Copies of this chain bind each other. A is one copy, B any other.
């Protein structure tokens, strides 16, 4: 048994997944549904931000959420009060894949929404290598994590369209230099849109929501570019 067999199979599987992701993206584009892949470390505030975002967007656009975790349905139960949501449980895998996203969307009843958020497994590494059929990729960085993370986990930042700096209410209590983090992130991905916010206080939430609405409108006009790699 040589390594060649493994490499061949992995390439086939990746090609299948990429083609499936392209199909999902095309079909979601045709429905006018903006798919947003939300990536971050565990505890960066993905679920809390999505709950606050769903509340803030409620009167403007229709939103649904697929939420990925290795175990438990806690996040879907938290989100249920804010938007139609379904839990995707990977049973150990460190990232979502496009097949799980498709199944989750069908489990939600193939909803006719403007924005479908996909909350990835808490992990700043593996999810960056997997196309879920999204139009936008957003990476969250909590100020409690430290401003060195863009340089240390470059792929998550290079492949993202937006950086959401979360838990800004903690800035007085932690050593986090926002300018340094943003400069490092933009060195990796110059076109990164940046939002600084606190889902707890609501600071910065309106600019973030306006961005999402504008991107959904670009999608509806057929102006949204493909994913970054």
User: Could you tell me which A residues sit within 8 Å of B by CB distance?
Assistant: 1, 3, 5-6, 8-10, 12, 41-44, 69-72, 74-75, 92, 94, 121-126, 142, 144-146, 148-149, 151-155, 167, 169-170, 173-174
Q: Please name all residues of chain B whose beta carbon is closer than 8 Å to the beta carbon of A9 when the two chains form the complex.
A: 1, 3, 5-6
A126 touches B124 (CB 8 A): no
5 shortest interchain CB distances as A-B pairs: A43-B145, A144-B144, A94-B125, A41-B42, A41-B41
Among B92, B144, B152, B173, the residue within 8 A (CB) of A74 is B152
Kindly state the separation between the CA atoms of A41 and B126 in the bound complex, as whole angstroms. Answer: 13
> For residue A125, which residue of chain B has the nearest CB?
B94
Docked pose: A71 CA to B6 CA in angstroms: 25
List 6 contacting pairs A-B, 8 Å CB cutoff, sorted by A. Answer: A43-B142, A43-B144, A44-B145, A70-B154, A71-B151, A173-B173
Partner of A174 from the list B71, B125, B170 (CB cut-off 8 Å) is B170
For the complex, what is the distance from the CA of A43 to the CA of B174, rounded to whole Å? 12
